[in-house]
Homo-oligomer: A and B are copies of this chain.
Amino acid sequence: MSKGDATRQMIVEKAAPIFNIKGMAATAMSDIMEVTGLSKGSMYNHFQDKEMLVSAVVDYNLHSYAGKIRAAIGPEKTAVKKLFAFIDLLGTPLSPIIEGGCPVLNFGTEADDTHPSVATKLNAMIELCENALAGIIKEGIQQKEFDADWNYKEFAVIMFSMMEGGHILSRIAGNNNRMKLISKTLKAMIKQHVIQ
């Protein structure tokens, strides 16, 4: 990686949590300058404008979020364990896996009406998660872990919606209570489909 690329990467990494926490409009380029220690000119050497930086930051946050999920699920050997690992990983929204909480939600409410290109990226991430969940269950069915007549595609959508809803409501409330209930409920729903 060239020096330029390294700097660019560093900017994105340092900027990512700030945008995720404060939001796109509320984060100033000067905030990023401060946290990177770079000069104004240098920032603009690497990113044409704020929008480009935002775009890279959204990508980074989503990629980072997905990576942590993948890392948690990957080592698990059974479908049930993978699903439970997913649930547990996202089970404490107040100590989230990336600073500021789920980027889909954080950027989503700001982007839905006003930043279509960001919304498109977020939507891809949503589908990625849903497909990942569906894929795990499908695999589980094939491995005779789950009963075959489970409508797993629908469940994946329901599960992800429920967790995202629980995530933001918990963060607003300032405690993980709702998410605990949701985790318990989802696990119970999953167990109902386990073939013993």
Residue of B126, B173, B178 touching A169 (CB-CB under 8 A):
B126
A126 to B23, CA, bound (A): 22
Q: Please judge, given known A-B contacts A113-B100, A126-B173, A162-B162, whether A168 and B25 are in contact too, CB under 8 Å.
A: no
**Which of A59-67, A77-85, A101-109, A139-147 contacts the other chain?**
A101-109
Chain B contacts for A122, CB-based, 8 A: 172
Contact-residue bracket for chain A: 35 or more
The count of identical subunits is 4
The reply on A55 being an interface residue by CB < 8 A is no
B174 touches A119 (CB 8 A): yes
A180 to chain B, nearest CB (A): 10
A168 touches B109 (CB 8 A): yes
The reply on A164 being an interface residue by CB < 8 A is yes
A113 touches B168 (CB 8 A): no
The reply on A152 being an interface residue by CB < 8 A is no
A109 touches B110 (CB 8 A): yes
The reply on A114 being an interface residue by CB < 8 A is yes
Residue of B21, B23, B171 touching A23 (CB-CB under 8 A):
B23
The reply on A182 being an interface residue by CB < 8 A is yes
Beyond the given pairs A105-B109, A123-B172, A158-B182, 6 more chain A to chain B contacts, judged by CB atoms under 8 angstroms and listed by A's residue number, are A23-B25, A24-B26, A101-B109, A112-B168, A163-B165, A164-B169
30 A-B residue contacts at CB 8 Å?
A: A21-B114, A22-B113, A22-B114, A23-B23, A23-B109, A25-B26, A26-B114, A101-B109, A104-B169, A105-B105, A106-B109, A108-B171, A110-B110, A111-B172, A119-B172, A122-B172, A123-B172, A123-B173, A126-B169, A126-B172, A154-B181, A157-B181, A157-B182, A158-B182, A161-B166, A161-B169, A164-B165, A164-B168, A165-B166, A165-B168
